[in-house]
Structure 1
Amino acid sequence: MRLRVSVTIVLVLSMTGCLTFAQGAVQASPLPSSSHFLSSPARDCSDLVRIRAFSDDLDKKTVDGVYVGNLSALAVDRSGRITAVSDESYVYSLAVRERARSLTAEAVAVTTLADLNGTAPDSEGLVVDWDGTRLISSETEPSVTRYSRVGTPLETLPIPVALAVAPAGRAVGNQTFEGLTLQPGGRTLIASMEGALSGDGAGVVRFQAWHRAGLGTPFAIGAQYGYRADAGLGVVELAVAGDGRLFVLERGFTAGVGNKVRLYLADLSGAEDVGGTEKIAADGPVRLASKTLLADLVDCPNLGATSEQPQSNPLLDNVEGLAVSGRTAHGRLRILLVSDDNERETQITRLYSLDVRLPR
C-alpha cells in the first residue's frame, strides 16, 4: 500500500540463466557498492526457494526530479521489459542487470498517472496486457483502470459492489486491491484484496476474477474466491506461476520486530465461487483456495544486508511487489521482489532476485 510509481526494466534471460540487457537498454554501472552477491553456496531460503542477490541501488534516488520509491508492483511484458508501479502515481523505467549473482538497478525515466477523473490513484497492482497497455489497480475505491503506454487512462473495469470501500460496500479502507495478475492466454485477470471484508472471517481475503472472450475484448466480472492469509498478515501481491497456480505474497509488520514476508503458491482449482456469499467464515464450510508455503523470507541468508529499523533478518523490509522475470537454465522460475520504502528514512527501496522450484 501507499505506492504511486511505475517502472519499466529491460531484461533478457540468457541461456545461462543470467539477466542481461537487450540492445538499446541503459547499461547499469558494473557492481556498484550497493549491489551484493553471495559467494557461499548456502543461499537457500527453503527447499524450494533460493536468493541470488539483492540491490539497494534505487534507494533514496531521484529521476527527472522525481523521488524513486513507494514501489508497490512489478510486471513483465511479452518482450521481457518489466514495469513497476508506485502508490504515488508514477511509472518508472528501470535498467536492471544481473550477472554472477550480482544485481544492479537504475531508474532512467518516469511517467505520471491520473485516473479518468484526473485524480492520482493509489496504485497497488499492475499488469501489462498483450498490446502494451497497463491495467493498474487502486485501493482507494477500489478500481482497475487501463492505461495507454504513455499513461493515458482509457477505461475502468466493473467492480462488484461488495468489494467497494464502506459505506458503498463492505471493504475496509486501505485493505482492497493490492495484487493484480493475468493468467497465461490473457483471458483471466485476477485481483486480490489485502484484508478481509467486514463480516468475513479473520484473515479471509477475496480474489476477484474477470474474464474476456479473447484478446482485445472487454473484461466482464467473473468468479470470486476466498483465500486465508496467515494470522497478522495481508495479501500484497499476486503473480502467475504459469501452470494455473498463483504466487501469493503475504506481508505484515510488528513494531520492534520488523516485517514478516512469506511466499506461497495458491491453487484456485478446488475453491468455490463466493461471489454470491455474503459472509465467509474462517473455518468453513466454504472451500477456500489451497496454498503451499514456498518460503518464509526470514529464513533466507542475509547476504550481508543491513536494515534501518529492527528486523528479524536485516535482509527484510516492506516487500510489496513481485514479478516472474524468466527461467533459469535448470528450469526454476526467476522472480524479482521490490520493497516499498514509504519515503521514510527507516525503510529501504530494495530489489531482490530469487529462484523458485515449483512443487508438484
Structure 2
Amino acid sequence: MSTSVTPSVPARRRSRAWLGVLATAAGSLALAAGPAHAAAPAGHHPAPQGPLACGRAGWVDGYSDALDKTSAYGLGVGDLSALTWDARRGAYAAIVDHATGEQARLWFIADPAKPRITGTLVLRKPDGTPYDDTDFDGEGLAVLPDGDYLVSSEVEPSVRVFDRQGVQQAELAVPARFRVAPAGEATANATLEGLSVSPDGRYVYAAMEGVLSGDVAPGGSADDRRILVYRASGRHGYTLVKEIGYQVDPGNRISEVAAYGRSGLLVLEAAFIPGTGNTIKVYGVPDARGAADVTAVPDLGTAPAGVLARKVLTVDVDACPSLGAVAKEPQANPLMDNYEGMAIAPGPQPLGLAQVVLVSDDNSNATQTTRLLRLTARLPGAR
C-alpha cells in the first residue's frame, strides 16, 4: 500500500511542519538568549521539543511508502541505496544496490513528500557496455559541479565518474589497503558505502562502511572507520589528500554521508538487530576538512585520543514518533527500515537547520519497505 504521511497540511516543496519547526527553533533560540543583548552559551542549543521531536536531537517531518514495490519504465523500483540532489534534473537521484540480474542504474525521484519516478539512467563502462550485478555494487552517489555523477561500488571498491548519459569517464584512486581481502584489509560488502561532494565542489568524501582489519583494537573493538578525502584538481580530477578517522557507536556501520557548509559532514550510522529491527542515528562532523590526517596511522584501534574526528548527534531517528507507520518485520519503532541513502534538501538553511531526506533499501525483500523519510537536523558548525 502506498502511504504518504506529513504531520501537517502539505506545502509544495517543504512541509509546513518543517517551517513550523524552524519557527519553533527560532523562538527557542530567542528564549534561550534571555534579556536583550544576552547570548546563549557558545555551542549551546536547546533540545528539540514538541510532538515531532526525535528525542533530544532533530525532528521528523513525514514519510512516504509510495515507491514501495512499484514499477516504472517496465522495471521494478527497489534496492535503493544512495541518495543525492541533482539540480539539473530537479529531482533526487538514487542508485540501485546490486539487484540480482539487473543493470546498474540510477532512478530519479521528484518530491520526497509525494515521491514519483521521473526518469532512469543505466551506468555503462567506457565501451558502452552496461555494468550489472556481476561487476558492480553501487552504494555511494554524488553529483559533481559540472553535472557528472560520482559513484562508488563495493566490489573492488571503486569511485568512478559517469557523464550525464551514464558513460564512465574517469576513476579516482583508492588506496591498496582499502581493497577487499586478500588484496587489502577490507571485508566484502563493507567497503565504500558513503559518498558526497562538498557544496563548493572542491572536496569529495568517501566513507568506509566497515572497519579495515588493521584498525581493529587489541580488545576486539571494531568501531573505527576511515573516510577518504579528495580535493579537486582539474576537470574530472580529484586527488586523494588525506584520510580522516571516525568512530561509530558500538555495533553500528556507516550507511551514508552528506557534506554541508564549508567543511561539515553528516554521517548516517545504522545497525540491524534480529528481533528488534533497525537502529538509525544521524551525526554531524562540524569540521571534516580540519580533522586530523590518519593516513600514516597504521592502526586506528590504538590511535591516541584526539585523532578521530569529533561528532555531534543531530537526529536520533530511533526516538522519532512513528507517525502511524507500519513495519513488515519486527521493529522497535515501525518508522524504521534499512535506511541507506541520505541527502540534504536544496534551499536555504536558516538557523543552521536543514531538511534531510533518507531512503531505505528493501533488498527486493517482501518484509522490507522502500520508504522516504524526511527529517529536520541542526547542522553543527554550519557556515
Does structure 1 residue 225 correspond to structure 2 residue 244?
yes
Equivalent of 1:50 in 35, 56, 59: 59
Match of 2:319 in 1: 299
- 1:271 correspondence with 2:281: no
Structure 2 residue 173 is matched with structure 1 residue 204: no
Instruction: Give the deviation of 1:43 after TM superposition.
Output: 0.7
Q: Which has the higher helix share?
A: 2
- The correspondence for 2:346, drawn from 322, 326, 335, is 326
| Aligned counterpart, 1:311 | 331
Q: In structure 2, how many angstroms separate the alpha carbons of the residues matched to 1:219 and 1:171?
A: 22
Distance 1:221 1:329 in 2: 29
Give the structure 2 partner of residue 73 of structure 1.
82
**Cα distance change on mapping 1:357 and 1:321 into 2, 3 Å:** same
Shift of 1:115: 3.9
Aligned residue number for residue 110 of structure 1: 120
Aligned to 1:59: 68
Task: Tell me how far 1:211 sits from its aligned partner.
Answer: 1.3
Structure 1: state its 5+ residue gaps. 1-31, 98-102
Aligned residue in 1 for 2:369:
348
The alpha-carbon deviation at position 81 of structure 1 amounts to 3.1
1:282, 1:313 → 2: CA distance?
36
SS at match of 2:311: strand
- Paired AA for residue 309 in structure 2: A
* 2:26 alignment counterpart: none
Give the 3 Å change call, closer, same or farther, for CA 337–282 of structure 1 in structure 2: farther
Q: Which amino acid aligns with 2:179?
A: A
> How many residue pairs are counted as aligned between the two chains?
323
Q: What letter matches 1:324 in structure 2?
A: I
Evaluate the alpha carbon distance shift between residue 86 and residue 33 of structure 1 in structure 2; reply closer, same or farther with a 3 A threshold: closer
Cα distance in 1 for partners of 2:284, 2:162 equals: 29
- Report what 1:190 is aligned to: 205
State the identity as a percent: 38
Report the AA paired with residue 224 of structure 1: E
* Partner SS for 1:199: helix
Report the Cα distance in structure 2 between the residues aligned to 1:63 and 1:175, rounded to whole angstroms. Answer: 30
Task: Please say if residues 257 and 310 of structure 1, whose CA atoms lie closer than 8 Å, have aligned partners that are also in contact.
Answer: yes
Partner residue in 2 for 1:254 = 273
8 A contact 2:95–2:106 mirrored in 1: yes
Q: Is contact 2:57-2:316 (8 Å) kept?
A: no
- In 1, the alpha carbon distance for the partners of 2:345 and 2:55 equals 20
Secondary structure of the residue aligned to 2:114 is strand
- Correspondence 1:2-151 to 2 at 5 A: 34-39=3-8, 42-79=51-88, 80-87=90-97, 88=99, 89-96=104-111, 103-116=113-126, 118=129, 119-120=131-132, 121-151=136-166
Q: Deviations over 1:261-316 (max 9, x none)?
A: 01000133553212222221166357001111112211101111000001010000
The residue that corresponds to 2:179 in the other structure is: 164
Partner of 2:233: 213
Q: CA RMSD in A?
A: 2.1
Distance in 2 between residues matched to 1:252 and 1:350, nearest whole Å: 17
State how far apart, in whole Å, the 1-side matches of 2:305 and 2:118 are.
50
Cα gap change, 1:35/1:153 in structure 2, threshold over 3 Å: closer, same or farther? same
Any conservation in 1 of the 2:207–2:226 contact (CA below 8 Å)?
yes
Q: Pick closer, same or farther for the CA change 1:96–1:78 going to 2, 3 Å.
A: closer
Contact 1:77/1:129 (8 A) holds in 2 = no
Is the 8 Å Cα contact of residues 85 and 346 (structure 2) preserved in structure 1?
no
Distance 2:272 2:140 in 1: 20
List per-residue Cα deviations over 1:32-66 (Å, max 9, x = no partner).
96111224961111444111110000000011121
- Name the counterpart of 1:237: 256
Q: Distance in 2 between matches of 1:252 and 1:229?
A: 10
Change in 2 beyond 3 A, CA 1:350/1:136: same
Give, in whole Å, the separation in 1 of the partners of 2:242 and 2:348: 33
Amino acid in structure 2 at the alignment position of 1:247: L
Distance 1:240 1:207 in 2: 12
- Larger mean CA deviation between 271-280 and 107-116 belongs to 107-116
CA distance in 2, matches of 1:184, 1:328: 12
Measured against aligned partners, the alpha-carbon deviations of 1:116-148 in whole angstroms (never above 9, x if no partner) come to: 584422000011111111000001100011111
Alignment partners' CA distance in 2, 1:255 and 1:239: 28
Give, in angstroms, the shift of residue 243 of structure 1. 3.5
For residues 186-222 of structure 1, the C-alpha deviation after alignment (integer angstroms, 9 at most, x for no partner) is 12111000010012131111000111235x2511121
Q: What is the TM-score normalised by the length of structure 1?
A: 0.84
How many Å separate the matches in 2 of 1:239 and 1:149?
21
CA contact (8 A) 2:2 2:64 kept: no
What SS does the corresponding residue of 1:104 show, helix, strand or coil? Answer: coil
